[in-house]
Amino acid sequence: MLEKISILGGNDKAGAAEPIKWLDVRTGEVLAVVGPTGSGKTQLISDIEQYASGDTPTGRSILVNEQPADKYAESRKIKHLVAEVSQNMNFVIDMSIEEFLLMHARIRSIDNPGKLVEEVLEVSNKLAGEPLSNTDNLTALSGGQSRALMVADVALISNAPIVLIDEIENAGIDRLKALEFLTGNGKVVLVVTHDPTLMLLASNRVVMKNGGMNKYLPTSGSEREILVQLTNIEKEVSLLRNRLRDGETI
């Protein structure tokens, strides 16, 4: 059973040692990965996805329950530990949503896949602006619909204990609901984001600078108070957006 992953620091873009030498992310935690464009956020989650062992440009190593990935007791299942949700996801396979979800569920040896397909579609439609149907062809989906479907698929079918989320605020879906779905069931979650609301929803954040892990900060009590204000603003903006989309005036 996964308890935590550990990121062992390597070097930044200049070759200097990263200020953070060891960073644990435990199950049930959400870690926001923040910093300006080009600071190394995406590379950090790429190192995790690849189970880096000092063999990537950063020189970092990733441990699973304090063991190298290839020594992890359940290493035969290692390829199923990580799922990623990217801001750029589109399908090229020519099949219906139902066919795709049933195929994925069977690969995962899930019992009663038909019921799960219904749940995935329900979640997808809570995230997407335009509704999806089981009979829709994957190649005909918009970018937002594709990403809504993949969020639901990762949350319910992949059920990977480590979830990597890359700038979901640009995915054209309800990002707060998406994060809520993806962070359930005691997962390790890393969120690359520029969005202050998503940053403060996380348990902690690592600040990237020049390709290196520069600071590690827990979300403070005062920041959680600000989060309440931001969430209320989000609700108001969402209502206005929906009214304008529906052709109303404000």
**Residue-wise DSSP of 21-38:** -EEEEETT-EEEEE-STT
Say yes or no: 240 and 210 in one domain. no
Strand partners, 163: 83, 189
Give me the mean pLDDT over the 29-40 stretch.
96
- Burial label, 198 (beta-carbon count in 10 A; 0-12, 13-18, 19+): buried
Residue 74 has pLDDT above 60, yes or no: no
Q: pLDDT for 90-99, tens place per residue?
A: 677 889 999 9
Last residue of a domain, one of 143, 159, 175: 159
Helices (H), 58-191: 97-107, 113-127, 143-153, 175-182
DSSP β-ladder status, 4-8 and 61-64: antiparallel
DSSP β-ladder status, 22-26 and 4-8: antiparallel
Q: How many domains does the chain have?
A: 3
Say yes or no: 72 and 177 in one domain. yes
Say yes or no: 17 and 69 in one domain. yes
What mean pLDDT, rounded, does the chain reach? Answer: 89
Say yes or no: 58 and 174 in one domain. yes
Say yes or no: 164 and 152 in one domain. no
User: Nearest to residue 193, comparing CAs of 174, 168, 212, 211?
Assistant: 168
Query: Residue 74, CB half-sphere, CA atoms under 13 Å: how many?
Result: 11
Say yes or no: 136 and 30 in one domain. no
pLDDT confidence of residue 18: 97
Residue 78 has pLDDT above 80, yes or no: no
Say yes or no: 73 and 174 in one domain. yes
Domain span including residue 111: 90-159
Say yes or no: 203 and 164 in one domain. yes
Give me the mean pLDDT over the 107-132 stretch.
87
pTM value > 0.75: yes
User: Nearest to residue 178, comparing CAs of 126, 229, 143, 131?
Assistant: 126
